[in-house]
Amino acid sequence: MRKNIVAGNWKMNTTLAEGVGLAKDVNEALKGIDAKCDVVICVPFTHLASVAGVIDSSKLGLGAENCADHVKGAYTGEVSAPMVASTGAGYVILGHSERRQYYGETSEILKTKVNLALAENLTPIFCIGEVLEERENGTFLDVVTKQIEEALFDLSAEDFGKLILAYEPVWAIGTGKTATAEQAEEMHAHIRSVIAGKYGNEVAENCSILYGGSCKPSNAKEIFSKPDVDGGLIGGAALDCASFMGIVTAF
Ligand code: 13P
C-alpha cells in the first residue's frame, strides 16, 4: 500500500544555524507524537550534512532540493547525486517548477537526473504541474500527462515504483491560492490513471502522489482527505515548525 507523506521544501531559505535549529525543532516535535505519515524535510545543499547529524533518521527523512545532471567533473557550482547521498540524505526533489522556469530544466535533463538519483538509492520527489494559463485554457490534464510521459516513462516498472510524485499547480505555489480539494483530486486521479495505463494498476495504486501549493494547517485536512491525495509538499509553511507540524498532524 502507498504511504502518506508530508515533505517540506525549504527552498532558498534559512542560514545554516537557522536551518539546523528548525530541523532540531521538527525532530523534537515528532518525538512527541505518533505521526500517521512519513515526514521528510528537503533543505539547501549547504545544510544537508549538518541536519543529518541532528535528526533521528528513523522518524524524519532528509532530502535535497535538486541534484546535477552529471555524476562528477568540471561543472562548477553543481552538486551531484552521489554527493547528496554521501551526506546521509535519502530523498531529492526533482523537476520543481522553479527549476523548470528559472533554470531551464527540460524533461530531457530531468530524465537524466532521475536516473542518477535512483542509481544512488535516493528517492526522487518528482514535481509536475501546470501554469495558470494552462489551467484556464483547459489543457492542464494534458500538460501534466506530457510531463510524466517525457521524463519518467522510460523507467522500468520497478524503478518507477521507487518515485514519489508531487502535483504542484504553479499558480498555487507561494500565492496563497490553493487548489480546491476537488481540483487536486481530479488531477491526482488523472495522474494515477496515466500511471496505470503505462505500468498497470498495482504500480499506480502504490505510488504516493503529494499535493503542493499554499498548503497550510487550515486546508491540509480537507485536501488530504481525498482518496488520491497521499500527502503534501510544503513550501512556506514548512519554515515554521508549528505550521509544518499542523500539516503533519492533518493525517
Ligand atoms: P508553498 O507551500 O509556499 O506554496 O510552496 C509549495 C512548493 O513549491 C513546495 O515545493
Whether 225 and 182 have beta carbons less than 8 Å apart is answered as no
Active-site option among 98, 105, 134, 168: 168
Number of domains in the chain: 1
Nearest in space to 43 (alpha carbons), one of 76, 70, 74, 21: 21
SS3 211: strand
Share of the chain above pLDDT 90, in %: 97
pLDDT value at 176 more than 90: no
pLDDT given at position 32:
86
For the Cβ of 243 lying below 6 angstroms from any atom of ligand 1, the answer is: no
Q: What's this model's pTM, rounded to 2 decimal places? A: 0.98
Tallying the residues shown for the chain, one arrives at 251
Of 79-83, 176-180, 193-197, which range is least confident?
Answer: 176-180
For the Cβ of 212 lying below 6 angstroms from any atom of ligand 1, the answer is: yes
Interval between CA 236 and ligand 1 midpoint (Å): 6
Interval between CA 44 and ligand 1 midpoint (Å): 15
Atom of ligand 1 nearest to the CA of 172: 4
pLDDT in tens, 22-81: 999 999 999 989 999 999 999 999 999 999 999 999 999 999 999 999 999 999 999 999
pLDDT band at 97 (very low <50, low <70, confident <90, very high): very high
pLDDT in tens, 129-140: 999 999 999 999
pLDDT given at position 198:
98
SS3 53: coil
Question: What is the average pLDDT across 145-158?
Answer: 98
If 0-12 CB within 10 Å is exposed, 13-18 middle and 19+ buried, where does residue 82 land?
A: middle
pLDDT given at position 177:
85
What DSSP element (H or E) covers 8? strand 5-9
pLDDT value at 208 more than 90: yes
Active-site option among 96, 98, 105, 130: 96
Share of the chain above pLDDT 70, in %: 100
pLDDT given at position 247:
98
Question: What is the average pLDDT across 122-146?
Answer: 98
Whichever domain contains 78, its CATH number is: 3.20.20.70
Question: What is the average pLDDT across 173-199?
Answer: 96
Range of the domain at 52: 5-248
pLDDT given at position 1:
85
pLDDT value at 194 more than 90: yes
Whether 63 and 41 have beta carbons less than 8 Å apart is answered as yes
Whether 87 and 49 have beta carbons less than 8 Å apart is answered as yes
Cell of 111: 530524465
**Is 168 an active-site residue?**
yes
pLDDT value at 107 more than 90: yes
